[in-house]
Amino acid sequence: MTRLTLRPYRATDRTAVLTLVNADRLPGQPEATPDMLAQALRGESPVDDNWWAELDPPTVHVATTADGNGNVVGVVSCALRPKDDTGLILWAHCRENAAVAEALIAHALAELAPRPVEAFQFATALTLGLEALPIGHRPVTRAALERAGFTGERLWRYMHAALPRPGLPRADNIRIVPEPERTTARQLQVRRDGRTVAEAVIGEPVQGVGVLWWIEVGPEARRQGLGRALLGSALDTLTGLGATEAILYVDDDEPPGGERDRTAANALYESAGFNEVDQLWIYVRPTVTP
Protein backbone atom coordinates (compact mmCIF):
# COMPACT_ATOMS: atom_id res chain seq x y z
CA MET A 1 0.00 0.00 0.00
CA THR A 2 1.03 3.60 -0.51
CA ARG A 3 2.98 5.05 2.41
CA LEU A 4 0.87 6.95 4.93
CA THR A 5 1.41 10.28 6.64
CA LEU A 6 -0.40 11.41 9.78
CA ARG A 7 -1.07 15.08 10.42
CA PRO A 8 -3.47 17.19 12.52
CA TYR A 9 -7.04 17.54 11.29
CA ARG A 10 -7.83 20.64 9.21
CA ALA A 11 -11.19 22.24 8.52
CA THR A 12 -10.78 21.30 4.86
CA ASP A 13 -10.80 17.62 5.90
CA ARG A 14 -14.42 17.77 7.08
CA THR A 15 -16.06 16.18 4.05
CA ALA A 16 -13.48 13.39 3.81
CA VAL A 17 -13.74 12.62 7.53
CA LEU A 18 -17.54 12.54 7.45
CA THR A 19 -17.33 10.14 4.51
CA LEU A 20 -15.08 7.85 6.57
CA VAL A 21 -17.39 8.02 9.58
CA ASN A 22 -20.49 7.27 7.54
CA ALA A 23 -18.80 4.38 5.77
CA ASP A 24 -18.79 2.64 9.18
CA ARG A 25 -22.39 3.58 10.02
CA LEU A 26 -24.44 0.72 11.46
CA PRO A 27 -28.11 -0.02 10.76
CA GLY A 28 -30.21 2.17 13.03
CA GLN A 29 -27.62 4.90 13.31
CA PRO A 30 -28.21 8.38 11.86
CA GLU A 31 -25.88 9.75 9.23
CA ALA A 32 -23.11 11.82 10.82
CA THR A 33 -23.54 15.51 10.05
CA PRO A 34 -21.17 18.51 10.16
CA ASP A 35 -22.73 19.57 13.47
CA MET A 36 -22.15 16.12 14.97
CA LEU A 37 -18.53 16.18 13.79
CA ALA A 38 -18.04 19.65 15.27
CA GLN A 39 -19.22 18.35 18.65
CA ALA A 40 -16.89 15.36 18.44
CA LEU A 41 -13.94 17.59 17.54
CA ARG A 42 -14.64 19.70 20.64
CA GLY A 43 -14.85 16.63 22.86
CA GLU A 44 -18.56 16.95 23.53
CA SER A 45 -21.36 14.41 23.35
CA PRO A 46 -25.08 14.41 24.18
CA VAL A 47 -24.55 10.96 25.74
CA ASP A 48 -21.99 10.15 28.45
CA ASP A 49 -21.33 13.88 28.79
CA ASN A 50 -20.13 13.48 32.39
CA TRP A 51 -17.32 11.20 31.21
CA TRP A 52 -16.36 13.57 28.41
CA ALA A 53 -16.14 16.41 30.93
CA GLU A 54 -13.27 14.58 32.67
CA LEU A 55 -11.06 14.72 29.56
CA ASP A 56 -8.58 17.25 28.29
CA PRO A 57 -9.49 18.69 24.87
CA PRO A 58 -9.06 15.91 22.29
CA THR A 59 -6.60 15.83 19.43
CA VAL A 60 -7.67 14.62 15.99
CA HIS A 61 -5.26 13.38 13.33
CA VAL A 62 -5.90 12.15 9.83
CA ALA A 63 -3.96 9.59 7.82
CA THR A 64 -3.23 10.68 4.27
CA THR A 65 -1.60 8.95 1.34
CA ALA A 66 1.93 10.09 0.63
CA ASP A 67 1.58 9.62 -3.14
CA GLY A 68 1.16 13.28 -3.99
CA ASN A 69 -2.64 13.18 -3.81
CA GLY A 70 -2.84 13.44 -0.04
CA ASN A 71 -6.16 11.61 0.16
CA VAL A 72 -7.58 11.29 3.67
CA VAL A 73 -7.91 7.55 4.35
CA GLY A 74 -8.21 7.46 8.15
CA VAL A 75 -8.92 9.52 11.24
CA VAL A 76 -8.31 9.04 14.95
CA SER A 77 -9.21 11.12 18.01
CA CYS A 78 -7.37 10.85 21.34
CA ALA A 79 -7.46 12.55 24.72
CA LEU A 80 -5.99 12.40 28.21
CA ARG A 81 -7.94 11.91 31.42
CA PRO A 82 -5.93 13.80 34.04
CA LYS A 83 -7.60 12.34 37.13
CA ASP A 84 -5.94 8.94 36.57
CA ASP A 85 -3.37 9.86 33.89
CA THR A 86 -4.96 7.55 31.34
CA GLY A 87 -4.98 7.94 27.57
CA LEU A 88 -8.06 7.30 25.48
CA ILE A 89 -8.64 6.48 21.84
CA LEU A 90 -12.07 8.07 21.49
CA TRP A 91 -12.97 7.20 17.91
CA ALA A 92 -11.26 6.05 14.73
CA HIS A 93 -12.38 5.29 11.18
CA CYS A 94 -10.51 3.87 8.20
CA ARG A 95 -12.92 1.89 5.98
CA GLU A 96 -11.53 -1.22 7.71
CA ASN A 97 -8.21 -1.01 5.90
CA ALA A 98 -5.69 -2.99 7.95
CA ALA A 99 -2.64 -0.84 7.17
CA VAL A 100 -4.51 2.35 8.00
CA ALA A 101 -6.01 0.91 11.19
CA GLU A 102 -2.57 -0.13 12.43
CA ALA A 103 -1.10 3.28 11.56
CA LEU A 104 -3.87 5.11 13.42
CA ILE A 105 -3.50 2.99 16.55
CA ALA A 106 0.30 3.20 16.49
CA HIS A 107 0.08 6.98 16.21
CA ALA A 108 -2.39 7.16 19.10
CA LEU A 109 -0.21 4.99 21.33
CA ALA A 110 2.85 7.11 20.57
CA GLU A 111 0.92 10.28 21.37
CA LEU A 112 -0.50 8.90 24.62
CA ALA A 113 2.63 7.09 25.89
CA PRO A 114 3.73 6.11 28.47
CA ARG A 115 0.26 5.74 29.99
CA PRO A 116 -2.31 2.97 30.07
CA VAL A 117 -4.73 3.44 27.18
CA GLU A 118 -8.44 2.73 26.87
CA ALA A 119 -10.20 2.54 23.51
CA PHE A 120 -13.82 3.01 22.47
CA GLN A 121 -14.99 3.42 26.05
CA PHE A 122 -18.03 5.67 25.60
CA ALA A 123 -20.45 7.15 23.11
CA THR A 124 -19.39 9.99 20.82
CA ALA A 125 -21.42 12.74 19.17
CA LEU A 126 -20.99 10.89 15.86
CA THR A 127 -23.53 8.21 16.86
CA LEU A 128 -26.83 7.84 18.66
CA GLY A 129 -25.56 6.45 21.95
CA LEU A 130 -23.33 3.81 20.35
CA GLU A 131 -20.89 3.05 23.16
CA ALA A 132 -17.88 0.81 22.36
CA LEU A 133 -16.65 -0.87 19.16
CA PRO A 134 -19.05 -2.97 17.04
CA ILE A 135 -16.78 -5.94 16.54
CA GLY A 136 -18.84 -7.66 13.86
CA HIS A 137 -18.78 -4.64 11.57
CA ARG A 138 -15.26 -3.54 12.55
CA PRO A 139 -13.20 -6.77 12.55
CA VAL A 140 -10.09 -5.12 11.10
CA THR A 141 -10.02 -2.42 13.78
CA ARG A 142 -10.57 -5.09 16.43
CA ALA A 143 -7.66 -7.15 15.11
CA ALA A 144 -5.39 -4.08 14.98
CA LEU A 145 -6.20 -3.28 18.61
CA GLU A 146 -5.45 -6.83 19.70
CA ARG A 147 -2.16 -6.89 17.80
CA ALA A 148 -1.22 -3.65 19.57
CA GLY A 149 -1.70 -5.28 22.98
CA PHE A 150 -5.29 -4.32 23.80
CA THR A 151 -7.64 -6.68 25.61
CA GLY A 152 -11.34 -6.52 24.83
CA GLU A 153 -14.44 -6.92 26.97
CA ARG A 154 -18.01 -7.31 25.77
CA LEU A 155 -20.24 -4.52 27.05
CA TRP A 156 -23.48 -4.24 25.06
CA ARG A 157 -25.77 -6.00 22.63
CA TYR A 158 -26.98 -3.52 20.02
CA MET A 159 -30.47 -4.23 18.60
CA HIS A 160 -32.72 -2.69 15.93
CA ALA A 161 -36.33 -2.90 14.78
CA ALA A 162 -38.43 -1.23 12.11
CA LEU A 163 -41.46 0.75 13.25
CA PRO A 164 -44.36 0.55 13.77
CA ARG A 165 -44.83 -2.71 15.73
CA PRO A 166 -48.62 -3.10 15.63
CA GLY A 167 -48.70 -6.61 17.09
CA LEU A 168 -47.63 -5.57 20.60
CA PRO A 169 -50.03 -4.85 23.47
CA ARG A 170 -50.23 -1.38 25.02
CA ALA A 171 -50.08 -0.46 28.71
CA ASP A 172 -52.88 1.37 30.52
CA ASN A 173 -52.57 4.37 32.81
CA ILE A 174 -49.41 5.75 31.22
CA ARG A 175 -48.09 9.20 32.03
CA ILE A 176 -45.47 10.77 29.74
CA VAL A 177 -43.15 13.30 31.39
CA PRO A 178 -39.78 14.91 30.53
CA GLU A 179 -36.72 12.85 31.44
CA PRO A 180 -34.71 14.95 33.92
CA GLU A 181 -31.32 13.46 33.00
CA ARG A 182 -31.70 13.69 29.19
CA THR A 183 -33.03 16.85 27.58
CA THR A 184 -34.06 15.03 24.39
CA ALA A 185 -35.78 12.12 26.13
CA ARG A 186 -39.17 11.32 27.60
CA GLN A 187 -40.18 9.04 30.44
CA LEU A 188 -43.22 6.78 30.25
CA GLN A 189 -44.62 5.90 33.68
CA VAL A 190 -47.23 3.27 34.49
CA ARG A 191 -49.10 4.41 37.59
CA ARG A 192 -51.11 2.30 40.02
CA ASP A 193 -52.61 3.57 43.25
CA GLY A 194 -50.64 6.79 42.91
CA ARG A 195 -47.29 5.01 42.48
CA THR A 196 -45.03 4.35 39.50
CA VAL A 197 -44.77 0.58 39.06
CA ALA A 198 -43.01 0.57 35.67
CA GLU A 199 -41.19 3.05 33.50
CA ALA A 200 -39.43 3.38 30.17
CA VAL A 201 -37.20 6.13 28.79
CA ILE A 202 -37.19 6.91 25.08
CA GLY A 203 -35.03 9.28 23.06
CA GLU A 204 -36.70 11.65 20.63
CA PRO A 205 -36.07 10.55 17.02
CA VAL A 206 -32.98 11.68 15.14
CA GLN A 207 -33.28 11.29 11.37
CA GLY A 208 -36.20 8.93 12.01
CA VAL A 209 -34.37 6.79 14.57
CA GLY A 210 -35.73 6.57 18.12
CA VAL A 211 -33.97 5.02 21.11
CA LEU A 212 -35.37 2.90 23.90
CA TRP A 213 -32.88 3.84 26.59
CA TRP A 214 -34.29 1.55 29.23
CA ILE A 215 -37.38 -0.17 30.53
CA GLU A 216 -37.99 -1.36 34.07
CA VAL A 217 -40.89 -3.02 35.89
CA GLY A 218 -41.04 -2.97 39.68
CA PRO A 219 -40.94 -6.32 41.53
CA GLU A 220 -44.59 -6.11 42.56
CA ALA A 221 -45.76 -5.70 38.95
CA ARG A 222 -43.65 -8.37 37.25
CA ARG A 223 -44.91 -11.55 35.55
CA GLN A 224 -48.12 -9.82 34.51
CA GLY A 225 -47.18 -8.94 30.93
CA LEU A 226 -46.59 -5.32 31.88
CA GLY A 227 -43.05 -5.20 30.47
CA ARG A 228 -44.26 -6.27 27.03
CA ALA A 229 -47.17 -3.84 27.14
CA LEU A 230 -44.92 -0.97 28.22
CA LEU A 231 -42.52 -1.83 25.40
CA GLY A 232 -45.43 -1.66 22.97
CA SER A 233 -46.45 1.74 24.34
CA ALA A 234 -42.88 3.05 24.15
CA LEU A 235 -42.50 2.00 20.52
CA ASP A 236 -45.95 3.40 19.73
CA THR A 237 -44.91 6.73 21.26
CA LEU A 238 -41.72 6.77 19.19
CA THR A 239 -43.77 6.10 16.06
CA GLY A 240 -46.03 9.00 16.96
CA LEU A 241 -42.97 11.23 17.27
CA GLY A 242 -41.95 10.37 13.72
CA ALA A 243 -39.60 7.42 14.23
CA THR A 244 -39.49 4.73 11.54
CA GLU A 245 -36.81 2.72 13.33
CA ALA A 246 -35.97 1.95 16.95
CA ILE A 247 -32.70 0.89 18.55
CA LEU A 248 -31.71 -0.25 22.03
CA TYR A 249 -28.67 -1.43 23.95
CA VAL A 250 -28.73 -4.44 26.30
CA ASP A 251 -25.98 -4.68 28.93
CA ASP A 252 -25.89 -8.47 28.71
CA ASP A 253 -22.20 -8.91 29.44
CA GLU A 254 -22.91 -11.03 32.54
CA PRO A 255 -23.42 -14.81 32.13
CA PRO A 256 -26.91 -16.29 32.68
CA GLY A 257 -27.71 -16.67 36.36
CA GLY A 258 -25.72 -13.61 37.41
CA GLU A 259 -27.06 -10.58 39.22
CA ARG A 260 -27.54 -8.72 35.93
CA ASP A 261 -28.77 -11.67 33.88
CA ARG A 262 -30.51 -10.22 30.82
CA THR A 263 -31.90 -13.46 29.38
CA ALA A 264 -35.51 -12.36 29.95
CA ALA A 265 -34.87 -8.90 28.50
CA ASN A 266 -33.27 -10.34 25.37
CA ALA A 267 -36.19 -12.74 24.91
CA LEU A 268 -38.66 -9.85 25.26
CA TYR A 269 -36.92 -7.69 22.68
CA GLU A 270 -36.49 -10.54 20.22
CA SER A 271 -40.17 -11.50 20.51
CA ALA A 272 -41.08 -7.86 19.81
CA GLY A 273 -39.17 -7.88 16.51
CA PHE A 274 -35.75 -6.56 17.52
CA ASN A 275 -32.73 -8.14 15.85
CA GLU A 276 -29.12 -8.06 16.97
CA VAL A 277 -27.01 -5.76 14.83
CA ASP A 278 -23.71 -6.23 16.63
CA GLN A 279 -21.94 -6.73 19.93
CA LEU A 280 -20.12 -3.73 21.39
CA TRP A 281 -16.72 -4.18 23.06
CA ILE A 282 -14.42 -1.86 24.99
CA TYR A 283 -10.62 -2.22 25.01
CA VAL A 284 -7.80 -1.55 27.48
CA ARG A 285 -4.02 -1.67 27.21
CA PRO A 286 -1.77 -1.44 30.28
CA THR A 287 1.31 0.72 30.45
CA VAL A 288 4.06 -0.91 28.43
CA THR A 289 7.49 -0.66 30.03
CA PRO A 290 10.30 -0.23 27.48
Domain boundaries in the chain? 4-156+280-285, 161-277
pLDDT digits (tens, 9 = 90+) for 166-202: 989 998 889 999 988 788 899 999 888 778 888 999 9
Is residue 103 pLDDT above 80, yes or no?
A: yes
* The residue count for the chain: 290
Structure confidence at residue 92 (pLDDT): 99
Residue of 122, 113, 117, 110 whose CA lies nearest to 149: 117
Give me the phi and psi of 3, to 5 degrees please. Answer: -60, 145
Q: Does domain 4-156+280-285 have CATH number 3.40.630.30?
A: yes
Report the chain's C-alpha Rg in angstroms.
Answer: 21
Distance, CA of 81 to CA of 121 (rounded, Å): 12
Same fold, 4-156+280-285 and 161-277: yes
Distance, CA of 186 to CA of 188 (rounded, Å): 7
Single-letter amino acid, residue 164: P
* Prediction pTM value: 0.93
pLDDT digits (tens, 9 = 90+) for 127-142: 999 999 999 999 999 9
In angstroms, the Cα distances linking 197 to 192, 233, 250 are: 7, 15, 21
Name the CATH superfamily for 161-277: Gcn5-related N-acetyltransferase (GNAT) (3.40.630.30)
Structure confidence at residue 259 (pLDDT): 61
